Amino acid sequence: MTATDSTTGAEIGRARRRKEDARLITGRTRWTDNIVLPGMAHLAMVRSPVASALISSIDVSAARSSSGVLGVWTGRDLDAEQGDLPCAWVITPDMKHPRRPAIAVDRVTFAGEIVAVVAARSAAEARDAADLVAVEYDDRPVVLDMTEALAPGAPLVHPELGTNENATWVFDSGEAGTGQSAQAAIEAARSDPDSVVIERTYRQQRLVPAFMEPRSTVVDPTGDQLVVWSSTQVPHVARFLMSVVLGLPESKIRFVAPDVGGGFGGKIHLSPEEVLTTLVARRLRKPAKYTESRSESIVSAHHGRDQIQKITLSARRDGTVTALKVDLLADMGAYLGIVTPGVPILGAFMFNAIYKFPAYRFSCTNVFTNKTLTDAYRGAGRPEATFAIERTMDALAAELGRDPLDLREQNWIRHEEFPFTTVCGLVYDSGNYEAATAKAKQLFDYDGLRREQAERRDRRDPVQLGIGVSTFTEMCGLAPSRVLGSLSYGAGGWEHAAIRMLPTGKVEVVTGVSPHGQGHETAWSQIVADRLGVPFEDVEVLHGDTQVAHKGLDTYGSRSLPVGGIALVKAADKVIDKARPIAAHLLEASADDLDFEAGRFTVRGTDTGMSIGEVALATFAAHNLPDGVEPSIDADATFDPENFSFPHGTHLAAVEVDTETGRSRIRSYVCVDDVGVAVNPLIVEGQVHGGLAQGVAQALYEEARYDESGTLITATFVDYTLPTAADLPNWTTDRTESPATTNPLGVKGVGEAGAIASTPAIVNAIVDALRPWGVDDIEMPCTPQRVWRAIQAGSTSGGAQ
C-alpha cells in the first residue's frame, strides 16, 4: 500500500484540510451552469409580475419569430404533461393541498410564477425573446397577511379550496400522555399568587436561503433515457419525484448533482424549472439548460421562516417553569413545497428545549398567502422554536429579577439525568449543559461583562452593553423512519453507503448523501481510513450521481454524518467481516484467531499477517479463496437511526447598542457547542461559523419584504441586506463533547446548530441592553431604525431614562 504520513486509527478528530478544495480554489469546478453540450438549447422563463390574477391572454408570436428561438410554450401548451409538483408531508388527514403546476395555466398566485418558457440557441437570445412575450392579466385581490387571510370573506389564494387555511396541527402533552395539560396548568397559575404567566408574541420574519450558486439544470434526453444535471441537495429525491410527476420510469432517469454551491434547505425540491427544462428538452429532443438569475432566485425559489408565535409560559415565583403553550401561524406562501406544511412540526418538539416543562401544548395553523412559497431553510422549525423559548426565558428572568443563566440552570436537564424523556416524548440521549455553559462563561468573561454593563448603566453611557444568552438544543439527524411514519411524512429517514475495495488497495466509498459545501469527501475519507486502517489519501468518495450512488436520501436536517456516516461505518464493518475468512484462509489460521487492527489481520500471538489491501488483491485474483466464499469483499449498508441526535450548546453575545442612533455592534460572540464526537474539528468549526452568520443575519439584517400589491421589494442582495464581511464579527467557538449514545461514532449533527442558537442570543443582548428604557422586545431584523424607535417608545412610556 501507499506509504503516507497517515496514522491509521487517528483520523477521527483530526483537523484535516479538505480534499474538495483543490478544484474549488483553482477554478476547475463543475457547476451545472458550466456544462455545455453540443446542440444545447438555452431556456428563459417569463414570470408573472403580479401576485394574483387570471391570465387573460398570452401572445408569443413576436417571441417565436425572434432570432434563434427554438420554441415558446405557455402553461396551456404543457399542462397535459406537466403533472403536479408534490408535497411529501400531508400533516393532517384533512390538509388542504392545492395543485402546484410547474407553469401557471389559468391564473397566477404569486409574483414570480412562471407563465411561459422560451428555448433559444443562446441564453441571450432566449432572454431577448422572453421579453417579447406579451401577457395580459386580470388582477384578483391579493392576500398577504396571515391574520387577514384567515378572516371571513378574505380573498382566497386558491378559490377551489374554499379557505386559506392549509391545516391546523396540535400536540398536547396531556392528551399524548407525555405530560400534564398545559391549559390547566396555565389557568391554575393565573389565579395563583405564587406563580407568574408570561405572554409574548414574536414574529419570525421571512428569509431567503441565499445559496451563492443560482440554481441551474441541464437535461439531456437520449431516446428514453434522461440525464439531468442539477444544482440540487437531493438528487435521489428529485429523481424519484420527477418520475412520479412526469410519469416516467425511474430507471430511465439519471440525476446528477455535480459541484453544488450551497443549499441551506433552498435546494431540497424538484423545482418547477427542473420539470420545465425536462419537458422542453424532451420536446426539442435536444439537451437544454436553464440557469436562474439571482433576481429570479430571490423572487421564486422558496423562502424560509415567516411565522407569528404566541407564547404563554407559566412558572412559580421561585423560577420553576410549570407549563408552556405555543400558538403559531405559519405562512405557506402560495403553494406547498416538499416539506412546507411540516416545517413548523420540525420545531414543535423543540419549544420545551432543554427545560423540564411538565406540561406543553403546541398548535400551529398553516396559512396560504399570495407570496412565494416557504419551505426548509437552515434549521427548519428549530430556529423558530429556539428563538421563542430563549426569548421567553429571558422575559421570565427579567420578570423575576433573576440572572438569565441561573434561571435556565434551575430548569434545565442536569447532566446526570440523561437519558431524559421530554414532555414531547423525545428521549435526549446525552448532553451536559453545565459543562458547555461553564466553558462559555469563562471564555466570554461573563461576570466581567456584567460588571461593565452595570457601570455603563450607572453612568448613563449613551452606548449601552447587552448580554444575550441562548442555551439551545435541537433535534437533527433526520430521521428514524418509524417516527417519520408516525408524523405522516411521505418517506423514510435511512441512509445508504457502499465500499468498493479495489485490487490496488485503494478504496472507493459510495454515499447516498449529497454534499454541497459540507466537506463530506474529507470527513468520509477520515471515517473509512480509521475503520479500515487505510491511508486517508487512498479513500475516494463518490456521491451525487444516481448512476454511481444508486441509493440515498441526500443531505438536509444535519443528517449526513449521524445517518449517512453511520451507514458508512456499518459498510466498513461488513468489509472487514467479509475479508476475515479470506485472510484466515490465506494465513492458514482460524478466523477466530485473527485480530484486525490498523488495517492488518494478524494471527494472534504471532507477527504473521496481511493488510486489508492484500486481501483485496487476493480476492480480486480469486485464485485461492475458501470454498463457498464469493470473490468480493465489497459491502454496502443501509442504516436507519433509532433516534434523532440532540446537539446543544451555550451561546453568549455581547452587543453594544448606541442609544442615540439605534445601531447595534456585536462586541464579542462566544459559543461552546456540544455536537458529540467531532470527526473533523476544522469542518465543525466552519459549519458553526456559517450558521452563526446566518442566525445573526436574521437577528440584525435580513428580511424578505413585500409591498401591499405582493411585489417582493428585496429582490437583490443589496435590498435584502445579505451581510458582508464588514457586517459580521469574529466568532469565538469551542466545544464540549458528550458522545451520542445512539450511534457507534458518538456523533451528532452540526449543520444547523449555529443558525439555530445565534438569533435569540443577539436579540436577547439588544433587549438586555435596553431594559432600563422599558424595552421588552424588538421585532427582527433589529435594524437601527427599529431599535431607535423602541428606545423612543420606551422612553415615552415611562422607561428608566
Partner 1 sequence: MGTTRISVTVDGVTYTDDVEPRTLLVHYLRERLGKTGTVVGCDTSNCGACTVHLGGRSVKSCSVLAVQADGADVTTIEGLAGPDGALHPVQQAFHEAHALQCGFCTPGMIMEAVDLLNDNPDPSEEQIREGIEGNLCRCTGYHNIVKAIRQAARAGTAAPTSAGGAA
Nearest to 712 by CA among 421, 297, 160, 345: 297
Q: Is 693 in the site for partner 1 (CB under 8 A)?
A: yes
Of 18 and 140, the one with the shorter C-beta distance to partner 1 is 18
Q: Is 26 in the site for partner 1 (CB under 8 A)?
A: yes
Residue from 20, 148, 403, 445 that binds partner 1 (CB under 8 A)? Answer: 20
Residue from 337, 686, 746, 749 that binds partner 1 (CB under 8 A)? Answer: 686
Smallest separation, CB 66 to partner 1 (Å): 12
Smallest separation, CB 242 to partner 1 (Å): 24
Beta strands in 208-297 (DSSP E): 216-222, 225-230, 253-256, 288-291
Q: For 197, list phi and psi in degrees, rounded to 5.
A: -125, 125
- What whole-number distance in Å separates Cα of residue 733 and Cα of residue 561? 20
Stretch that binds partner 1, among 53-61, 463-471, 647-655, 677-685 (CB under 8 A): 677-685
Smallest separation, CB 135 to partner 1 (Å): 21
Binding to partner 1 in span 400-429, by CB under 8 A: none
How many residues bind to partner 1 according to rule CB under 8 A? 54
Of 530 and 685, the one with the shorter C-beta distance to partner 1 is 685
Smallest separation, CB 33 to partner 1 (Å): 7
**Cα separation of the two ends of the chain:** 74
- What whole-number distance in Å separates Cα of residue 582 and Cα of residue 157? 66
What residue has cell string 385581490? Answer: 141
**Longest Cα separation, the chain:** 90
Nearest to 217 by CA among 195, 239, 202: 239
Residue from 365, 372, 694, 714 that binds partner 1 (CB under 8 A)? Answer: 694
Phi-psi region of 210 (alpha: psi -120 to 50; beta: other; left: phi over 0): left
> What mask of x and - would describe binding to partner 1 in positions 498 to 537, judged by CB under 8 A?
------------------xxxx------------------
- CB within 8 A of 573, min separation 6: which ones? 531, 637
Residue from 1, 31, 90, 438 that binds partner 1 (CB under 8 A)? Answer: 31
The interaxial angle of helices 404-411 and 433-444, nearest 10 deg, is: 170
Query: 3-state class of 473 per DSSP?
Result: strand
> What mask of x and - would describe binding to partner 1 in positions 260 to 299, judged by CB under 8 A?
xxx-x----------------------------xxx----
Smallest separation, CB 125 to partner 1 (Å): 10
Of 17 and 285, the one with the shorter C-beta distance to partner 1 is 17
- What whole-number distance in Å separates Cα of residue 554 and Cα of residue 496? 9
List residues bridging with 476 in a β-sheet.
Answer: 645
Q: Is 62 in the site for partner 1 (CB under 8 A)?
A: no
Of 287 and 641, the one with the shorter C-beta distance to partner 1 is 287
- What whole-number distance in Å separates Cα of residue 348 and Cα of residue 172? 10
Q: For 713, list phi and psi in degrees, rounded to 5.
A: -105, 10
Q: Is 21 in the site for partner 1 (CB under 8 A)?
A: yes
Of 54 and 124, the one with the shorter C-beta distance to partner 1 is 124
Got the DSSP string for 516-583?
SSS-HHHHHHHHHHHHHT--GGGEEEE-SBTTTS-S---S-TT-IIIIIIHHHHHHHHHHHHHHHHHH
Please state, as a whole number, how many other Cβ atoms lie within 10 Å of the Cβ of residue 189.
20
Smallest separation, CB 719 to partner 1 (Å): 9
Smallest separation, CB 722 to partner 1 (Å): 6
Residue from 685, 703, 752, 768 that binds partner 1 (CB under 8 A)? Answer: 685
Residue from 24, 400, 438, 591 that binds partner 1 (CB under 8 A)? Answer: 24
Nearest to 714 by CA among 783, 629, 620: 783
CB 740 within 8 A of CB 429: yes
Residue from 17, 99, 451, 460 that binds partner 1 (CB under 8 A)? Answer: 17
Of 669 and 773, the one with the shorter C-beta distance to partner 1 is 669
Q: ∠430-434-440 over CA atoms, to 5°? A: 115
Binding to partner 1 in span 204-263, by CB under 8 A: 210-214, 259-262
List residues bridging with 468 in a β-sheet.
Answer: 653
Q: Which three cell numbers stand for residue 238?
A: 428529485
Q: Is 690 in the site for partner 1 (CB under 8 A)?
A: yes
- CB within 8 A of 251, min separation 6: which ones? none
Smallest separation, CB 35 to partner 1 (Å): 9
Of 3 and 718, the one with the shorter C-beta distance to partner 1 is 718
Q: Is 28 in the site for partner 1 (CB under 8 A)?
A: yes
Of 257 and 389, the one with the shorter C-beta distance to partner 1 is 257
Q: Is 34 in the site for partner 1 (CB under 8 A)?
A: yes
Binding to partner 1 in span 712-741, by CB under 8 A: 716-718, 722, 724-726, 728, 730-731
Smallest separation, CB 263 to partner 1 (Å): 8
Q: Which residues bind partner 1 (CB under 8 A)?
A: 17-18, 20-22, 24-29, 31, 33-34, 124, 210-214, 259-262, 264, 293-295, 516-519, 682-683, 685-687, 689-694, 716-718, 722, 724-726, 728, 730-731, 754
